[in-house]
Every structure is written in structure tokens, then in C-alpha cells.
Amino acid sequence: MQGENGGAQDAVELTYCVVNTSQRELLVAGLDAIARERAALPFATEVLVLDNGSRDGSVEAARAHPTVDEVVAVGERRGKAGNDSELLRRARGRFGLLLNEDSELMPGSTLALWRALTDRPDAALAGARLLRPDGTPQACAWRFPTPLSAAAGVVGMHRLYTVQSRGARTREVDWCQSAALLVRRSAAAAAGYLDPAFFVYSDEVDFARRLRDAGWRSLYVPAAIAVHHEQLATGEAPRRRIVQLARGRDLYLRKHLSPAAASLTRWLTAIAYAMRAAAALVLPGRDARRYALHASATLHPERGEGLEEAAARYNAER
């Protein structure tokens, strides 16, 4: 690898791992940001891009971008956990920085995340602070789902108790969103990487939980900033995304909690969504139907079409 910040003989310290799903313009903007980051780093890096069955010219754009070292073009649309794991396996860096195609790193973010993990040898994951395109903060670190965290949502204490992405200093948290997440690859390999049973949503929660069970910690690093365009979550949250979100959460609950605790967490979460739906009927600018769909999907995640079925249909059409 002949990187912008190191010769071919240098050991790769960090690998940028970017997964793209039919978002060519956002991908190019994110790669431009990565190029700026690489130029300022004191160690060697590489950039891997996995294109998730796109038809919009994303593969060609990635291959033409000067900062990209390798493009992995898969012939079908696959789940996020499996794609992230493939990139982490292919990476040569001691650390792998997982990025969505809609995550744009701000200057100095890579170094801030790297310093956080090098300063804490007991930490395996470090998540960046996420901002919306208008500059407002986006919640991006939380406690693990439990009956207590679900109950906090029922009594209106979700942000106070469950959301952990606050403060100006690096802090230990339960889990961080994987839109911009630095991973210690040795720990990821020992844990078996991300579980492909999670097509998308709750995959990083399960990953952080398994790493925590193995003795590792997760960090929220507010000095690292990524603008998260949330291209895949804009609008009114289509039904299939709500269904997939509920399925991921349900899989996590069944995997890590007792049957009784999982059932209680599921019901409390549904009640919190139902209460929001009722409040949205009288509050301006709220979508009661969206919250009602969340409540229904939480109790019955097996119903309806999720993103996994939509991907299967997309693949069949190819």
C-alpha cells in the first residue's frame, strides 16, 4: 500500500472501512473527507470501500477516487453486520474505522478516536459524536436495552437515563452507533466480529455487548465529530425500516436477556411508543402513525416486510 501518509514499507495502523448502498454522491463526499483526514495523520492508513450491490455508478466512483486503496463490489445486497465484518477481516490496520457512506468526518476526528483507544488499552470501541447536517446533535450512544431502560422511556426519562452521548469529555458508555465507530481489530476477531444474524439495526449493540462480556469497554469520544446525513432514515420512517428495527431489537433481547426480562422489555418499549403516539395526536409536528407502527412492530416483529425482504427482492430483480 502506498498511502498519502506513508510508504509501502509502513505497517498500516488504521483502516477506513466504508460500506455504501446506492449513495454515490454521499460516498464521494465522505471519501473526500477521509482524504483530508489521511493527509494530516502521523501513521499509515488504507481505505477499503464495500459497495452493497449498487446500480448508481458508486463502484466506478469509488474506484476512481484517489484515496481508495481497494473496492469490494458484492453482487447482491447484503446485511450491514456481514458487510462490516468482511471489511474488518480484510483490513490490515491495527484499528478499523467503520463508516457509513452518509458519514462525513470532520477534521481531526480520526486522530481523536485513535488516541481514545490507544490511551485505553481496555477499550475495543470508540464512537464519534454525530451531528445532523444542520449542526444539531444526534443521540449516538446509549445504555444496553433492559427492562430498566425501557421503563425509563415510559416515565419520560429516556434522554436522561438511556442516552449516554452527552458531555464534552470522552466517557465510557454501553454502546455507540456504528455510523462512525473505531474498532480494535484484535478484540473484534476474538469476539467473532459482528453477528450476521442481525441484518441491520442492533448489530452494533450486540457487538458491544459481546465485547463487554469479554472484558472490553466502549467509549464515546465527543472530540471526534461526523456529520451523519442519515440518508437511509430520512422522511417518515418507512414501515420496512420500523419492522427491521423491531426485529433487530427483538433478536438482541432474545439473545442476551432471560425470556421474562425480554418480554418485559418488549412490552415496556411498546407502551412507551404507544404513549408517544397518543401525545402526537395533540402535539404539533409529531407523527402519531409512525409511533403507532413502532409500538405494533415491537410486539409483533414477525409481521410485515422488513429491509431484509426488500433486499432479497432487489437481488432477485438483478
Q: What is the pLDDT along the chain (318 residues), one digit of tens a residue?
A: 334 444 444 799 999 999 999 999 999 999 999 999 999 999 999 999 999 999 999 999 999 999 999 999 998 999 999 999 999 999 999 999 999 999 999 999 999 999 999 999 999 999 999 999 999 999 999 999 999 999 999 999 999 999 999 999 999 999 999 999 999 999 999 999 999 999 999 999 999 999 999 999 999 999 999 999 875 444 444 889 999 999 999 999 999 999 999 999 999 999 999 999 999 999 888 889 999 999 999 999 999 999 999 999 999 987
Domain end position, chosen among 212, 233, 254: 233
Are 185 and 79 in the same domain? yes
Q: What is the pLDDT of residue 231?
A: 52
Domain end position, chosen among 233, 263, 298: 233
Q: What is the pLDDT of residue 236?
A: 41
Are 135 and 282 in the same domain? no
Are 285 and 194 in the same domain? no
Are 244 and 198 in the same domain? no
220 occurs within a structural domain: yes
Are 223 and 80 in the same domain? yes
Are 264 and 291 in the same domain? yes
Are 263 and 279 in the same domain? yes
6 occurs within a structural domain: no
- Range of 282's domain? 239-317
Measure the CA–CA gap between 207 and 41, rounded to whole angstroms.
28
Is the dihedral angle over the CA atoms 151, 153, 156, 159 positive or is it negative?
A: positive
3 occurs within a structural domain: no
1 occurs within a structural domain: no
Are 216 and 187 in the same domain? yes
Measure the CA–CA gap between 262 and 266, rounded to whole angstroms.
6
Are 133 and 250 in the same domain? no
- For residue 49, the tally of other CB atoms under 10 A from its CB is 29
Q: What is the pLDDT of residue 2?
A: 35
Are 79 and 123 in the same domain? yes
- 218: part of which helix (H) or strand (E)? strand 217-228
Are 127 and 249 in the same domain? no
Are 180 and 301 in the same domain? no
| pTM of the predicted structure, to 2 decimals | 0.93
2 occurs within a structural domain: no
Domain end position, chosen among 195, 215, 233: 233
Q: Where are the alpha helices (DSSP H) in the chain?
A: 24-39, 58-64, 80-90, 109-119, 147-154, 185-191, 203-213, 239-256, 259-280, 288-299, 307-317
Q: What is the pLDDT of residue 266?
A: 98
**For the chain, how many structural domains are there in total?**
2
Q: What is the pLDDT of residue 232?
A: 45
